[in-house]
Amino acid sequence: MTERNPDPVTAPSTTSPALIALAWIVVAIPLLYGLWQAILKAAKLFTG
Amino acid sequence: MPFLDKPSSVAKPGYSRWLIPPAALAVHMSIGQVYAFSVFKTSLVHRFGSSQTAVAWVFSLAIVCLGLSAAIGGRWVERNGPRRAMLVSAIFWFAGFLVGALGIATGQLILLYLGYGVLGGIGLGIGYISPVSTLIKWFPDRPGLATGMAIMGFGGGALVAAPLSNQLLRTYDSGFDPNAKGAVASTHALAMTFVTLGIIYLIFMMIGVALMRLPQGYGGHDDEVTHQAGMSGALVRANEAIKTRQFYLLWIVLFCNVTAGIGILEQAAPMIQDFFRDGKTSAVSAAVAAGFVGLLSVGNMLGRFTWSTTSDIIGRKPMYMVFLGVGAVLYLLLATVGHSATAVFVLLALFIISFYGGGFATVPAYLKDLYGTLEVGAIHGRLLTAWSAAGVVGPLIVNGYLDAAGKPGNLIADDYKPALFTMVGVLVVGFIANLLINPVNSKYFDPMAHAAPEQQEEAKLA
């Protein structure tokens, strides 16, 4: 007997939007920091 | 720890699938540090009194162990679920830094090999594949977007780790200036930076473990749950997948794409200076060349997300036709007109490197299309041996040609032509391999695995 999966695409979410936002902020801050540092380094390509 | 078991890892009703990408990102951003290992190179060479090559072996060993552990551990990851796999990855990654720090503190290079190279490499391999299959299960409508986000994190991890490591070295050794040529950090600073990075990454990866969940219905044994089928209803186990022609064609595709990308990455800074050299002086300064390397890192990272997401719209096979076909044309242009203007050179290299990143990020979704979700993580793990092989072959090709011409940093644009034309050939081979990929023969499908009924109907109609 197989277990029928609920569709994860259409399943309604009851997770707090604040928790989702917090999770994304935790990973986005270091990622943006790294990206910013790389852009600063890359800027030398245009400014010499 | 039973809470890490597959059944205990299943999301409760209402759990948002948008918590899964940050969980995957937390792991991939941590292990992506490996691409920033070069920031320690000069200090490590000084500490151990060894050659550059001896220290470079630490990185090579880590990448080889990544490929091997992903290939060997893939089925274990599928059986035990993403949370246990991510925890094991975090422990190995953490232990790798600690043992590496011990090697630095005691002056034993062998401990750095064993720690960062072997233990860390195992953490890399398990960590790289652990969230991939779960992401595909949560995002059956957009598998390219989902895996693109995670694998973008691997590229982004290096962008974070390089400045973070330099900052830590400066904190533990006030006399260390990372911007000074040939600057060397003290043994204490190196060891403490390794320990600190290990702790930071352990905590960060634990956030991923805490957030990661399997979608409902995936907690039981493989035969008891419904899977998402690939083309023609394919649900193939890893041991069967490696018997199919498609696996080896895709292996060649990934190998060629990575080999060609490494051709640029390996020599980026001296290459741009050599392309615009007039006599003994180059129109491109060392600072500008460093900026070019920074821009390539950004292109590599953004390419992973952009092209993988695009593949959800145009399809996986056409996407690789772009990576390999357009990539070959761009390489040809780089060899022939790349020296005409810095902007032309930079633009061509930027697209080439974005295709390199995109190739990594799109391949899990391609595997899902071919084999279904039954053991897609394990199949992905085995495919990553192409990465390890390309990591050896790519630099060999480029360095082989350049060594014969002279020393990179003192060459001219024409000296790069043989290597660049070879890369065009490599990409054409990959392009042909991609063209030959077709749906997997049904004789390889697992007889016990089940797809959703509507998917079985679609497969019959296809």
Query: Which 279-298 residues of chain B touch chain A by CB within 8 A?
Result: 285, 287-288, 290-295, 297-298
Nearest to B331 by CA among B307, B317, B351, B316: B351
State whether B402 and B321 are in the same domain: yes
Lowest mean pLDDT among B91-95, B176-180, B307-311: B176-180
Query: At B450, is the secondary structure helix, strand, or coil?
Result: strand
Identify whether B79 is part of a domain. yes
Identify whether B327 is part of a domain. yes
**Buried residues in B427-436 as b, exposed as e (16+ CB within 10 A):** bbbbbebbee
Task: State whether B160 and A27 contact (CB < 8 Å).
Answer: no
State whether B138 and B286 are in the same domain: no
State whether B214 and B252 are in the same domain: no
Lowest mean pLDDT among A19-33, A34-48, B136-150, B251-265: A34-48
CB pairs under 8 A between A and B: 129
pLDDT given at position A1: 45
Which chain A residues are Cβ-neighbours of B161 within 8 angstroms? Answer: 34
Query: Which 219-278 residues of chain B touch chain A by CB within 8 A?
Result: 220, 224-226
Q: Which two tokens stand for residue B12?
A: 């409760």
Structural domain containing residue B168: 2-220
Q: What does residue B242 show for φ and ψ, rounded to 5 degrees?
A: -75, 0
pLDDT given at position B378: 93
Residues B2-31 have a mean pLDDT of 91
pLDDT given at position B178: 84
State whether B71 and B121 are in the same domain: yes
The per-residue pLDDT for range B101-125, each reduced to its tens digit, is 999 999 999 999 999 999 999 999 9
Which chain A residues are Cβ-neighbours of B218 within 8 angstroms? Answer: 5
Confidence of residue B454 (pLDDT cuts 50, 70, 90): low
Confidence of residue B226 (pLDDT cuts 50, 70, 90): confident
The per-residue pLDDT for range B157-216, each reduced to its tens digit, is 988 999 999 999 999 999 998 878 778 999 999 999 999 999 999 999 999 999 999 998
Confidence of residue B458 (pLDDT cuts 50, 70, 90): low
C-alpha B360: how far from chain center? 6
Lowest mean pLDDT among B92-106, B108-122, B402-416, B430-444: B402-416
Residue A45 has its nearest CB partner, among B19, B207, B295, at: B295
- Structural domain total, chain B: 2
pLDDT given at position B402: 82
pLDDT given at position A48: 60
DSSP conformational letter for A13: P
Identify whether B100 is part of a domain. yes
Residue B217 has its nearest CB partner, among A5, A20, A23, at: A5
pLDDT given at position B457: 47
The domain boundary residue, chosen from B220, B243, B258: B220
The distance of B31 to chain A (nearest Cα, Å) reads 13
State whether B300 and B361 are in the same domain: yes
Residues B147-164 have a mean pLDDT of 91
Identify whether B9 is part of a domain. yes
pLDDT given at position B455: 56
DSSP B161-220: HHHHHHHHHHHH-TT--TTSTT----HHHHHHHHHHHHHHHHHHHHHHHHH--BPTT-SS
Residue in B6, B10, B16 to test binding to A, most A beta-carbons within 10 Å = B16
State whether B47 and B167 are in the same domain: yes
Residue B291 has its nearest CB partner, among A11, A35, A45, at: A45
Identify whether B226 is part of a domain. no
Task: State whether A37 and B159 contact (CB < 8 Å).
Answer: yes
State whether B180 and B253 are in the same domain: no
pLDDT given at position B96: 98
State whether B182 and B241 are in the same domain: no
Is B39 in the A-facing interface, judged by CB distances under 8 Å? no
pLDDT given at position B214: 92
Nearest to B63 by CA among B119, B110, B109, B124: B124
- Taking CB atoms within 8 Å and a gap of at least 24, the contacts of A18-26 are A19/B19, A20/B16, A20/B18, A20/B19, A23/B19, A23/B22, A23/B23, A23/B207, A23/B211, A24/B18, A24/B22, A26/B22, A26/B26, A26/B207
Nearest to B45 by CA among B197, B196, B187, B194: B187
State whether B212 and B259 are in the same domain: no
Task: State whether A37 and B162 contact (CB < 8 Å).
Answer: yes
Identify whether B225 is part of a domain. no
State whether B136 and B249 are in the same domain: no
The domain boundary residue, chosen from B200, B220, B240: B220
Which chain B residues are Cβ-neighbours of A35 within 8 angstroms? Answer: 156, 159, 298, 301
Residue B53, pLDDT > 60, answer yes
The per-residue pLDDT for range B288-301, each reduced to its tens digit, is 888 888 889 899 99
Which residues have C-beta within 8 Å of that of residue B364, sequence separation ≥ 6?
A: B132, B133, B135, B136, B143, B147, B151, B376, B380
pLDDT given at position B72: 93
Residue in A1, A32, A45 to test binding to B, most B beta-carbons within 10 Å = A45
State whether B246 and B213 are in the same domain: no
Which chain A residues are Cβ-neighbours of B211 within 8 angstroms? Answer: 23
Residues B244-258 have a mean pLDDT of 97
Query: Which 354-413 residues of chain B touch chain A by CB within 8 A?
Result: none
**Residue B310 near residue B449 (C-beta atoms within 8 A):** no
pLDDT given at position B461: 44
The per-residue pLDDT for range A1-48, each reduced to its tens digit, is 455 567 787 888 889 999 999 999 999 999 999 999 888 888 877 776
Which chain A residues are Cβ-neighbours of B346 within 8 angstroms? Answer: 45
Identify whether B273 is part of a domain. yes
Across all residues in chain B, what is the average pLDDT? 90
Taking the model in full, what pTM does it have? 0.89
Task: State whether B290 and A48 contact (CB < 8 Å).
Answer: no
Identify whether B256 is part of a domain. yes
Query: At B447, is the secondary structure helix, strand, or coil?
Result: coil
Which chain A residues are Cβ-neighbours of B291 within 8 angstroms? Answer: 41-46
State whether B309 and B254 are in the same domain: yes
The domain boundary residue, chosen from B160, B192, B220: B220
Residue B287, pLDDT > 50, answer yes
We report the CATH number of the domain holding residue B369 as 1.20.1250.20
Confidence of residue B450 (pLDDT cuts 50, 70, 90): confident
CA-nearest residue of chain A to B227?
Answer: A5
The distance of A18 to chain B (nearest Cα, Å) reads 11
